[in-house]
Structure 1
Amino acid sequence: MDYYDLIIVGAGPAGSTLAGALANSGKRILIIDKQDFPRDKTCAGWVTPAVMDTLKIDPQEYGTGRTLQPIRRFRIGMMGQPPVENDHGDVVSYGIRRCEFDDYLLRRVSCPKQLATPVKAIVRKDGNWVINDTWEAPLVIGAGGHFCPVARLLGEGPGGHETVVAAKEVEFEMTPEQASACQARGDTPELWFCRDLKGYAWVFRKGNYLNIGLGREDNHKLTDHLHAFVEEMKSAGRIPADLPGRFKGHAYLLYAHAERPLVDDGILLIGDSAGLAYTQSGEGIRPAVESALMAADVIHHAPDYSASSLQVYGDAIAERFGNRAADLEEGWQVPDWVKKPLASTLMRSHWFTRKVVTEKWFLHREVPPLKAAV
């Protein structure tokens, strides 16, 4: 049996950020992930300058040999009506490919890693956790996304009725002919809100790569909405007529509607396993990174790994992202006060789409970057 101080299940941005933040803590850390890296990851894939700053990533260095698409504009609309374009002037975000970004973050971490290793068993034994009858630690971290096996140890949450967002998307490298036919611009991601306000679709060009997808809170209508959107974008010339491959699905929880506990004795959840995706945008990379840094600070200073000691982390999450219990509005992307037909009018407003949709909901420009405290 190999013993560690903590085991991180999940090697994505949350897991690698946590391991990196604890690199000089003297703790023995193991990262386990069911996939080898680099690996395909279904994600629209953009990160704000705040994330790059928090992770201490030099855009020029990262962009050498990797996809890094500067974003200066957004094209936003409600399906079935003309969109609005807003020019932010400066770079307000970057398009990345998760297969490259996640691998880059993981390679910066020097702790032991067990990749291509599914977690088949997590057993409590003498106050520790034993994984796959091979690795043992008093603390196990869930960083494996929505279906993380560590999160399953904590159940479905108080009510078990969490709103799960389902999404389907495809990302591919365009041929010269496809790139010529595609009217979508790399510096201008397109966001298209569903008319019933239960989701949105996107078209996002990153150099020669194109990402198209749609996410909704009602999975049974997802395929129909996606098909209609894709056909509309083809007809408008926004995307090539010949899309390769199948759209891949994934799921996640929105912060305001998640009921999943964050801590228990010897357990702590970060990133999508904790249900931290921003409620209005569904974006999860920044919450994943910030939750990992907050977890690292708590782990570094906690007297033990009891639920009461780790609850400091839960309090820090509530302070940073808001109190879930106080946010009981219905619906997913759009707050309760944005109702039809008002939403249709608002989505034609340059002020609303820029100041509220883009800068507040998607970019969180009013929130300063979180610095590592360990």
Structure 2
Amino acid sequence: MEYYDVIIVGAGPSGSTLANALRNSGKRILVLDKQTFPRDKTCAGWVTPAVMDSLGIDLEEYGSSHTLQPISQFRIGMMGQKAVENDHGEVVSYGIRRCEFDNYLLDRVTSPKELGTPVKSLTQEGGNWVVNNTWQAPLVVGAGGHFCPVAKLLGNGPGSHETVVAAKEIEFEMTPEQAERCQARGDTPELWFCKDLKGYAWVFRKGNYLNIGLGREDNHKLTEHLNAFVDDMKATGRIPEDVPGRFKGHAYLLYDHAERPLVDDGLILIGDAAGLAYTQSGEGIRPAIESALMAADLIWDLEDFSAQALQPYGEAIAKRFGNRSENQQSGLQIPDWVKAPLASTLMKSHWFTRKVVTEKWFLHQEVPPLEMAQI
């Protein structure tokens, strides 16, 4: 049996960020993940400058060997209507490929890693948690996404009682012929809202890579909506007609709809395992990174890992992201006044699509950078 101070289950952005943030804390850290890296990850794949700053990533260094698509414009519309383009006059976000980005973050981690290792058992023994009868620690962090095995131990665990947003997407490298025919531009991601505002689709070009996807609250109609969107994008020349391969799916919780407890005795959830994706957009990378940094700030000097001792993390999450809504409505949190017949008109407005949809819902420009005491 190998002993650690902290075992992190999940080596994605939240797990690797936590491990890296605790590098000089004096604690022995083990990172587990069921997959090997680099890995394919279903995600549109853009990050704001706030994320890159929080991670301490040198943009020039990262971009020299990884895909880094500067974004200065957005093309936004409601399906069936003409889109509105807004030029922000500066870089407001960056396109990344998750297979590269996640691997880059994990490579920075100096702690021991056990990749390609699913959690088969997680039990308590003598005040410690024991993983796979091989590793033990007084604290286990769930960073394994929506279906994280650690999340199963808190509250009612992942299940049918949760309001889940489901998405399907594909990312592929275009041939020269496809790239020439594709009208989507790298500096201008496209967001297309469903007419009922219960989801949205996207077309996002990163150099010669193209990412296409759609996310909705009603999973049973997801494929139908996706196929209609893809057909429309092909017909209008936004994407090539010969899109290869199959669309891959994933699920996630929106922050205001998640009911998972964040801590228990010797347990803490971060990132998508905690259900932290922004309710307005479904974007989860910034909340994942920030939750990991907040967890590291608490764990740094902590020796007592009781639920009471870990509770300040939950309070920090509520302070940063707000108290979870008591009204557990399904779907993206779009204000009722937007859902009214006025919605189609608003989506034609340069002011609304820029100031509300882009800058507030997707870029969260009004949210100040995260400040940490230890990190």
Q: TM-score, normalised by structure 1?
A: 0.98
Q: Distance in 1 between matches of 2:43 and 2:243?
A: 17
What is the CA–CA distance in structure 1 between the aligned matches of 2:218 and 2:89, rounded to whole Å? 36
Give the count of matched residue pairs: 374
Map 1:5-20; keep pairs closer than 5 Å: 5-20=5-20
- Give the CA deviation at 1:299: 1.0
| SS at structure 2 position matched to 1:91 | coil
- What is the match of residue 174 of structure 1? 174
For the residue of structure 1 that corresponds to 2:325, the secondary structure is helix
Structure 1's unaligned 5+ residue stretches are none
Instruction: Measure how far apart 1:373 and its partner are.
Output: 2.6
Residue of structure 2 equivalent to 1:132:
132
Q: Is the Cα–Cα contact under 8 Å of residues 151 and 158 in structure 2 kept in the other structure? A: no
Secondary structure of the residue aligned to 1:337 is helix
Distance 2:200 2:12 in 1: 24
The CA deviation string for residues 12-49 of structure 1, in whole angstroms up to 9 with x for no partner, is: 00001101111110000000000111111110000000
Question: 1:227, 1:23 → 2: CA distance?
Answer: 46
Does structure 1 retain, via aligned residues, the 8 Å contact 2:255–2:324? Answer: yes
Measure, in 1, the Cα distance between the counterparts of 2:349 and 2:39: 40
Q: How does 1:299-338 map to 2 (within 5 A)?
A: 299-326=299-326, 328=328, 331-338=331-338
Which residues of structure 2 form unaligned runs of 5+?
none
The one-letter code of the counterpart of 1:265 is D
Greater CA drift, 251-260 or 300-309: 300-309
Write the distance in 2 (CA, Å) between the matches of 1:368 and 1:130. 39
1:1-374 → structure 2 map (5 Å cutoff): 1-156=1-156, 161-326=161-326, 328=328, 331-374=331-374
SS in 2 for 1:76: strand
| Contact 1:329 1:336 (8 Å CA) reproduced | no
TM superposition shift of 1:338 = 1.5
1:165, 1:215 within 8 Å by CA — same for their partners in 2?
yes
Whether the 8 Å contact between 2:279 and 2:332 is mirrored in structure 1 is: yes
CA contact (8 A) 1:329 1:335 kept: no
Q: Aligned equivalents of 1:297 and 1:329: distance in 2? A: 32
Distance 2:76 2:325 in 1: 30
Deviates more, 1:322-331 or 1:192-201: 322-331
CA contact (8 A) 1:280 1:335 kept: no
Deviations 1:95-145 (A, max 9, x none): 000000000001111000000111111011111100000000000000000
**What secondary structure, in the 3-state scheme, does the structure 1 residue paired with 2:337 have?**
coil
TM value normalised by structure 2: 0.97
Superposed CA offset, 1:151-185 (max 9, x none): 11114369973210000000000000000000000
- 1:173 is matched by which residue type in structure 2? E
Distance in structure 2 (CA, Å) of the matches to 1:350 and 1:31: 45
Distance apart, 1:303 and its partner CA? 4.6
TM-aligned CA deviation for residue 65 of structure 1: 1.5
In the TM superposition, what is the alpha-carbon distance from 1:339 to its structure 2 partner? 1.6
**Percent of residue pairs identical:** 78
Q: What amino acid is the match of 1:50?
A: A
Structure 1 residue 6: Cα displacement: 0.6
Counterparts of 1:159 and 1:152, CA distance in 2: 9
What does the per-residue CA deviation read over 1:282-321, in whole Å, with 9 as the maximum and x for residues that have no partner?
A: 0000000000000011112335100011010000000000
Q: Secondary structure at the match of 2:7?
A: strand
Residue 325 of structure 1 and its aligned partner are, at CA, apart by 3.5
Specify whether residues 159 and 229 from structure 1 end up closer, same or farther in structure 2 by C-alpha distance, changes over 3 A only.
closer
CA distance in 2, matches of 1:104, 1:372: 23
